[in-house]
Amino acid sequence: MKGSAEELDHEVAAAFTHFSFANSKGTGIVCDLQGVGTTWTDVQINSLAQEGYGQSDMGRQGMKAFFASHACNSLCRALKISGAWMV
Ligand SMILES: [Zn+2]
């Protein structure tokens, strides 16, 4: 539901995932954020090196999958990360 607490939680999680990509200079991404509100558990890290984050690290493929469905929201724009994008 647009404007609901759930929608805001989703936007925060999506912006955080995008921020993790920008802040790591494109070398990794923290995604699959699940939980209640912004208390996240079960996060998954996808890294270019695919070393040290276990078998769930999908590497570049996992990073591209996020961007395939991500549309920047107002939080991404506030963080000025909209230009940090994987193609
Ligand atoms: Zn974004």
- In this predicted model, what pLDDT tens digit does every residue of 24-38 receive, in sequence order? 999 999 998 888 777
CA of residue 72 to ligand 1 center, whole Å: 3
User: What pLDDT sits at residue 1?
Assistant: 54
Q: In whole numbers, what is the pLDDT of the chain averaged over residues? A: 91
For the domain covering 5-78, report its CATH number.
Answer: 3.20.200.10
Q: What is the DSSP string of 7-60?
A: HHHHHHHHHHHHHHHHHTTTSEEEE--EEETTEEES-EEEESS--SS-TT--HH
Residues of the chain with pLDDT under 70: 1-2
45 alpha carbon – ligand 1 mean position (Å): 17
Q: How far is the CA of 79 from the centre of ligand 1 (A)?
A: 9
| Alpha carbons 63 and 17: distance in angstroms, whole number | 10
CA 70–ligand 1 middle distance (angstroms):
6
- pLDDT score, position 3: 76
- Percentage of the chain exceeding pLDDT 90: 69
Separation of 52 CA from ligand 1 center, angstroms?
26
For residue 2, what pLDDT is reported? 61
